[in-house]
Chain A
Amino acid sequence: MNPITVMIAGESRQRAFCRKLLDREAGIAVAGDIRPGLKMLAAAARLRPRVLLLDFTRLRLDALVGLSAIRRHSPRTRVILLTSLRTSDALILEGLKRGALGCLDKAALPGLLPKAIRAVSAGEAWVPRRMARHLRDGLLPLAGGERIGPAPDASAPKGRRWARADGSRRHAS
């Protein structure tokens, strides 16, 4: 059976770390590693990896642009975003909107990187469950007067956000 080909786009320490994690994985072959950006596009087109690991640990315009470009130039390559504690949910959402199918925190790499790669290669998403709420919010924005949460109620859990009839939002305290 053909191994899953993986390309790693990030800074050198991260690339070496991922390579080490994947070198001994049966069924996964690292096709190359590179800095994110222009050369990544050319390399992806030439090597045609099944999965691309893309450094997303800080906001870089070229990472987002590169992601859109990958989708246009190499639509068969599936992207997993490598995030850190500093990566906000909003940035991850922007990555998902531009075609990424997975995201994984770098602290979780040792245990989960091979699993995430296999899942995404098989066409699944690999995304923290908490992102479901942001995806829903992105797809079903609040309309004026639409109620999405519980009515004002002492038993409502703390910190819930819901819309009032006039469309304004407030935190239940």
Chain B
Amino acid sequence: MPVLGDLEVAVMEALWDMPGQSAKGLHEQMGGDRGISLNTIQSTLERLHRKQLVARQKSGHAFFYSPQVCRQQLVAAYMQEALGRFGADPVASIAAFVESAEVLDEETLDQLEATLVRFRKQQGAS
């Protein structure tokens, strides 16, 4: 999944809120607050289109853009990439509560459960 910059995320959020906008419409909506030009918005939309994150439809002389992925899909994709293995080694800049437990077998999980029950009984007895 391509990495998005601040402006690209802002444009995607605007499109998630209201799909089917033109570059001019987006510029009117967010250009003033950020002090960015219409050309910048157009370039950003072009980049997002190349990254296949937005679809566009021509109407008259203008293109109208709609998101091709929803926020949840993007978050899930980034989670997978940001938190998954980088080559063969774990990612250095994060520490997760529990590593992926898909590789554990059910017998192991059941044994751990039984150990926990025994431990609680012993604690209760003492």
Q: Do A and B truly interact?
A: no
